[in-house]
Structure 1
Amino acid sequence: MKKNIKRMPRIYINDEIKVNKEISITDEKKHYLFSVMRIKIKDKINIFNNTNYVFTAKIINLKKKKVIVRIINKKKKDNESFLKINLGQSISRNKSMSWIIQKSSELGVHSITPLICKNSYLKYNKNSIIKKIKKWKKISISASEQCERNLITKILYPKKLKNWINSLNSGKKIIFTPNKISNKIKTLKKNFNIINILIGSEKGFSKKEIKLCLKNKFIHMNLGNRILRTETACLTAISILQYKYGDLNIFN
């Protein structure tokens, strides 16, 4: 019987990294390495820093409040999709939003802009928004650590729908709703590498918001005959787009 191959621990560090540099790892990442992964002196870990490089480091010291590693090599590893997906997501309930951030990051979404729409579940309160952004960024980083993606999905500051629409200056634009008379993804022609997709909250978009999108040259699309939850709709749309136009080539 073959022995299970132990997976090398992998963490994100927001810092410049160079070969032979010594780095001190503290707080949650130290707890993860020491208490969860049970690392020892001379063990190796992988580190990434949002640059498409993976750095191998060796544990050289274990202290009470920190783990010290030395970078021993680096290797370029580009796991990014050649389709750049920018997600505009109407802010949903806490659990749904966290799920969307996590799974969208795993599926290779380039950026996520939480949107304040008529039916969003977060009003424009600065303190509340700052707290949410911190949480969402942490979720995105954790997702990249887990799925071996070396770039972090950008979690942008929440915008009102109209402001987000006005900020788009390139790429295809799609709004997804359950409307049965709208278009199907299969009708899209492959003449883009940037796509901006818009997903509503549990309560969907208002007629006025849909009209605003169509006025700004969004393509109106649906995801079939069933009405999907917001998190299901979001991940279904991303998965189909990555399969048809991106790097989710599981049948090739």
Structure 2
Amino acid sequence: MSRLYVDLPLASGLAFHLPEQAARHVQVLRLQPGDPLTLFNGQGGEYSATVEEMGKRHVAVTVGEHLAATRESPLQLTLVQALSATERMDYTVQKATELGVQTIQIVQSAYCSYKLAADRVEKRLQHWQGVAAAAAEQCGRTQLPQILAPIKYEQWLAKAPPADLRLLLSPIGGVPLSSLPASIGSAQVLIGPEGGFSAEEEAWAVEKGYTALLLGPRIFRTETVAPVIAALLQARYGDF
């Protein structure tokens, strides 16, 4: 059954026209009046719904029963991801959503090759939120990850909230995965850009209590690291 994210209040019995993007999705799927679908708004749970009318520029639906589905991981996982090029960043957001990450904080670090002008931040945030919504539709999540606007790396380190486990992914990290604690409830992971973090940035993180973790003998691309570490942590502490 088709699942659609709608950024609207939902309630059983409600009838309304789908937002433009969701309506276009229904039209592409060639759904017809009477066909069922599932709606969710990221506030938890989801709703059954029925297509009532298909127009050239609108799709009318009626909301049915609320389903108290929860598919969120017990691990509160935050990825602190250095800004990367457009396609790579999209991949990171998509896979992080599928893997149950709760928060994605984007940071600008010394070796970031991709720069984001201040007047484009809001547009990119909306784009990344759209990537996350599409991934949530596909994977069955009923909540979307929180995607936080880019800030400087040192600003994050200065204000980072507490977590049971703080990791810095580093090609010269001295701690293997097997040495991590047996049980935690929350984790933060620092992931560098294409060129990695600078030596100074790694030293700052260690001073702030982050453990330098080594993921084996091979060097990963920045867009590969997020799904790798998210999957490993979900297997060790989450719902895998």
Count how many residue pairs are aligned between Structure 1 and Structure 2: 239
Q: RMSD of aligned C-alpha atoms? A: 1.3
Q: What is the aligned-residue identity percentage?
A: 26
| Contact persistence 2:6–2:22 (CA under 8 A) | no
Answering whether residue 38 of structure 2 is matched by residue 51 of structure 1, we say no
CA positional deviation for 1:39 = 0.9
TM-score normalized by structure 2? 0.96
Match of 1:5 in 2: none
CA distance in 1, matches of 2:97, 2:159: 22
Match of 1:117 in 2: 109
Match of 1:129 in 2: 121
CA distance in 1, matches of 2:113, 2:121: 11
CA positional deviation for 1:229 = 1.0
Match of 2:64 in 1: 72
Match of 1:183 in 2: 175
Match of 1:28 in 2: 21
TM-score normalized by structure 1? 0.91
Aligned counterparts, 1:1-252, within 5 A? 8-34=1-27, 36-123=28-115, 125-171=117-163, 172-179=165-172, 182-248=174-240
TM-superposition CA deviations, 1:83-109 (whole Å, max 9, x none): 011000011122211111110110000
CA positional deviation for 1:19 = 0.5
| Contact persistence 1:50–1:152 (CA under 8 A) | yes
Runs of 4+ deviating beyond 4 Å: none
CA distance in 2, matches of 1:109, 1:62: 35
Q: Secondary structure at the match of 1:173?
A: strand
Q: Secondary structure at the match of 1:80?
A: coil
| Contact persistence 1:26–1:65 (CA under 8 A) | no
Question: Unaligned regions of 5+ residues in structure 1, if any?
Answer: 1-7
Question: Unaligned regions of 5+ residues in structure 2, if any?
Answer: none
| Contact persistence 1:80–1:151 (CA under 8 A) | yes
